[in-house]
Chain A
Amino acid sequence: MGIDQGNRGARMRSILHIDMNAFFASVEQRSDPSLRGKPVAVAGSERRGVILSPSYEARAFGVKTGMQYHEAKRLCPEITFVPASPGKYSHACRQLITIWERFTPLVELFSIDEAFLDVTGCEPLMGDPVQVAVRLKNEIWEIMGLTCSVGIAQNKLLAKLGSDMLKPDGIVLISPDDEREVLEDLPVKEICGIGPSMTRQLAAMGIHTCGELGRAPLTKLSERFGILGERLRDMGKGIDDDPVISRDVQDEEDSKSVGHSMTLEQDCDDSTIIQRHLLQLCEKVGRRMRRGGYTGRTVSLTIRYADFHTFSRQQRLPRSVDHGLDIYAVASSILTKISLDQAIRLVGVSVSSLEKQMSQVPLFMEERKRKFTTEAMDDINDRYGDFTVTWGTLAERYRHERVISPAWRPGGDREY
């Protein structure tokens, strides 16, 4: 007997969640035969930053994503740090999508190394979902030499839970008959979408497991979490009607913000250098906005101090902007108003309150000149690469680009 689904989700679906195992580290191990079978960690740079992806050999020593270098080195002295190569990973992701789309057109990219596949109705052609998962894993291994974990269930929530249950290289099927048993004693924090803060709030209400969450009175949950209350109770019951959204539909969805950040090679309190980094970030943000046809009204500046204390300040503008210098003018004025307590580790800029294709046709000569100059610069940089033509200040720009954004999408406006 499955969990009560009410009248929703009448059609039984077959959803796969694919989670590539230690994706960045595995790609690096494929790329460098001397690293295979050894503890490896992909990091922001060879000298600084945090661990982005430890290999399973490194994880065996307790090395985790987000850990700092010295911590990883202390746990695993023989670990090899490899600087991240975003281009390599985005190419590997494109290869994965090609493989996934041979099985179903309904592929939703969840991140660069995770995807949901809706294989409902594929049985006559490819067998049951477990057989599909086995074939899919075999193809990925044969073509790319990479392993993945697959969760299979009737919705995305449970499929994601399943892929987390057997790593690396596992397949977990959560059938409707098993759902109640799987969820009953499962800590709520194991569910995708319930973070540490929500877990604490639920614990304060005496709710620790999914079973307890599913049985909690809706009035009590709604009182505390508002409209999220019903969604939370459904999560506790394993109910999730979200469809798998194919990539072409995902690509059509408008962005909510455009931003870039950089972790500096070393902590910095020199305002000239910080301002230069800021200009570079603003130029990149402006380029991406123009490429996507966006203008925006809110500019945000994010600062992370050497001790990892992070904060953001933002300013709303009377008119929309998409030019790097306009964004820089605002970000720079925000920065000058901040009394910096420490050296800076990371700086980031983003523009939100976006509007699509809303830029005003310039009426005055000066504005027209600037628009035409910007278009000419964009054309040259499109042809020969970013920053081929740029401001003199950026001749000494920061060239270290080792971070791949969670927002990356193949075919999107962010290139690697």
Chain B
Amino acid sequence: MTLEINEPIRVGAIFSQRCVRPVWFSWKGRQIRIKESAYSWKSREGSAVLFHFSVTDGQGLYEICYNGENLGWVLIRATEERG
């Protein structure tokens, strides 16, 4: 079951050579370490470019998003472990 979250989050990420690699994020008071960044893609909202990352901590799947204009991160959705 996928839950739409849309909450601002704190993210630890590495920015290098025009690439962004999220390493961890904080949500609900706990730090989630990213085991695999499975997929990434770009979209637009108005004039802002959004960088989406589909990441997993080995249990759940999360879509987090970096807004290149306001430099903020948002947890878009979370998917519980699929049976």
Contact = CB atoms under 8 A, between A and B. Distances in A.
A68 interface: no
A37 interface: no
B38 A32 contact: yes
Interface in A81-103: 83, 87-88, 90-92
Interface string B44-83: 1111100010101000010000000000000000010110
Contacts of A385: 45-46, 48
B36 A383 contact: no
A31 interface: yes
Contacts of A416: 43
A31 B43 contact: no
A382 B45 CA distance: 8
Nearest to B42: A91
A34 B43 contact: no
Contacts of B47: 382-384
Interface string A28-44: 00111111000000000
A87 B46 contact: no
A381 B44 CA distance: 12
Nearest to A83: B2
A88 B41 contact: yes
A412 to B, nearest CB: 13
A382 B38 contact: no
Interface residues of A, number: 24
A31 B39 contact: yes
Contacts of A171: none
Given A31-B54, A33-B56, A415 B82 contact: no
Contact of A31 (B2, B38, B46): B38
Contacts of B79: 32
Nearest to B1: A46
A388 B42 CA distance: 20
Contacts of A90: 43
Given A34-B61, A34-B81, A80-B82, A382 B41 contact: no
Contacts of A80: 82
Given A31-B38, A87-B43, 12 more contacts: A30-B39, A31-B54, A32-B56, A33-B38, A34-B82, A46-B1, A46-B2, A88-B41, A88-B52, A92-B41, A384-B45, A386-B46
